[in-house]
Structure 1
Amino acid sequence: MIQNLMKIGLFQPEVPAKVASAEPDLTKGTPVLFKDANGKLIDLASLKGKVVFINFWATWCPPCIAEMPSINGLYKKYKDNKNVVFIMADVDGTIDSSTAFMKKKGYVLPVHIPASSMPKEYFSGSMPTTIVLDKQGRLSFNHVGGADYSNPEVAAFIDKLLKMNL
């Protein structure tokens, strides 16, 4: 039902009018880490120079599941762009279950689990939460709740972030 409501235009993410925010770079100081299915750690600070799309989700969360097709479509648009990184962070920490879920649904999204504490500005506990960091590591987009990421404004926003100089 949520997916159908997305198709008729509800649950649209509020894309900021300006490209960069005044938010500080929260990747300085304490490392913000994610672990992939192979056990490889990713430190957000190492992703400077890239636009980073992070979605905090769980396999049992209906709004998370409802927005997954639109995130998968957005990922497919940028998957070959080395300057865009997607992190699908399963907040349950069950990487095997979340990887199996993605495979069963036919999604190609890269699954990770948080491997450190998260700044509350990134994730306060509500799911789904989606954030986008600009190339300087600043929080440029934050949406709590399900959303339709097939909205062309989302891709246009990512494209604007990609064009920004460091």
Structure 2
Amino acid sequence: MNKYKFSLKNIPAWAVMLAIFGTLYLTGLHTEAIGQVQRLLLATGIRKADVPAVATAESAVVSSETATGGAANSGHMAGKGFKMRTLDGSTVSFESLKGKVIFLNIWATWCPPCVAEMPNIQSLYEKVGSDKIAFVMLSVDEGGMEKVQKFIAKKGFTFPVYMPAGQLPQEFYSNAIPTTFIISPDGQVVARQEGMAEYDTKEVRDFLQSMARE
């Protein structure tokens, strides 16, 4: 009588895939693996961030400042009263950034699309370097600051990272993560992108820099 011999060929393909994904999930590597695949999607250029034309942005800023007597004297600012913590534990008021163009990205370490788009946000940060443009990478992780610190250190990102020190303002609520907001110097949301996107593009760089001009 022939005994049944175990062979990998006898294992169903679905069982192999289940084992692979189960291992990735248990080791926490599934986020990185999915993020890598989505990063390849971004590299194709089909998920570019949608921002207004430069001329439209400049007109909006000029119109707003004319109506309010300048950015420093404008009305309600998006995120007014919101407090954030830096990764070294310092508390920062979102209002302290008023007068600058703010690139606000809401993300989490467990979010594959967030992981996928972060390298191109880092590239954007390096290219538009200006004291008139503020980057706020706002982590909504609930696992504590140490987890975020380790993630950023491992990736080598240098853009400013924060965590909420209170409830998110209503204007920053979103049904998707990541979500990115671009806020004008007078505190108005002028662009909003739900889901991952490619930000290191000429259109986004020109848009940010046009609003940052004196």
**Shorter chain as normaliser: what TM range?**
0.7 to 0.9
Matching residue within 75, 78, 99 for 1:26: 78
Contact 1:54 1:131 in 2 (8 A): yes
Tell me if structure 1 keeps the 8 A contact 2:184–2:211: yes
Letter in 1 for 2:162: H
* Residue of structure 2 equivalent to 1:51: 101
* Alpha-carbon contact 2:79-2:171 (below 8 Å) kept: no
Residue deviations 1:78-107 (CA, integer Å, cap 9, x gap): 34x211111111111432211211111121
The equivalent residue for 1:68 is: 118
Indicate the residue corresponding to 1:119 in structure 2. Answer: 169
For residue 121 of structure 1, give the secondary structure of its aligned residue in structure 2.
helix
Where does residue 44 of structure 2 map in the other structure?
Answer: 8
- Aligned equivalents of 1:124, 1:98: Cα separation in 2: 21
Which residue number corresponds to residue 160 of structure 1?
210
**Does 1:90 find its partner at 2:90?**
no
Structure 1 Cα separation of the partners of residues 147 and 195 of structure 2: 22
Cα separation, 2, equivalents of 1:120 and 1:16: 23
Residue 42 of structure 1: CA displacement? 1.6
Cα separation, 1, equivalents of 2:52 and 2:161:
26
Give the structure 1 partner of residue 179 of structure 2.
Answer: 129
How many residue pairs get aligned? The number is 161
The root-mean-square deviation of aligned C-alpha atoms, in Å, is 2.0
- Alpha-carbon offset, residue 125 of structure 1: 4.6
CA contact (8 A) 1:95 1:111 kept: no
User: CA 1:27–1:56 in structure 2 vs 1: closer, same or farther (change >3 Å)?
Assistant: closer
Q: Which moved more, 1:38-47 or 1:17-26?
A: 17-26
Q: Of Structure 1 and Structure 2, which has the larger fraction of its residues in helix? A: 2
User: Aligned partners of 2:173 and 2:128: how far apart in 1?
Assistant: 23
Deviation at 1:24, TM superposition (A): 5.5
Shift in Å, 1:129: 0.6
Could you tell me which amino acid in structure 2 is paired with residue 87 of structure 1?
A: V
1:102 to 152, 160, 164: 152
Q: For the Cα contact (< 8 Å) 1:72–1:107, is it kept in 2? A: yes
Q: Counting strand residues as a fraction of each chain, which structure ranks higher? A: 1
Corresponding residue of 2:15 = none
| Structure whose alpha-carbon radius of gyration is higher | 2
Larger RCO: 1 or 2 (CA < 8 Å, sep 6+): 1
Question: Is 1:95–1:112's contact at 8 Å kept on the other side of the alignment?
Answer: no
Query: Residue by residue, what CA displacement relative to the aligned partner does 1:8-56 show, whole Å, maximum 9, x if unpaired?
Result: 112111112321488953344xx01111012222212121111111111
Q: Which residue of 2 aligns with 1:78?
A: 128
In structure 2, the residue matched to 1:149 is: 199
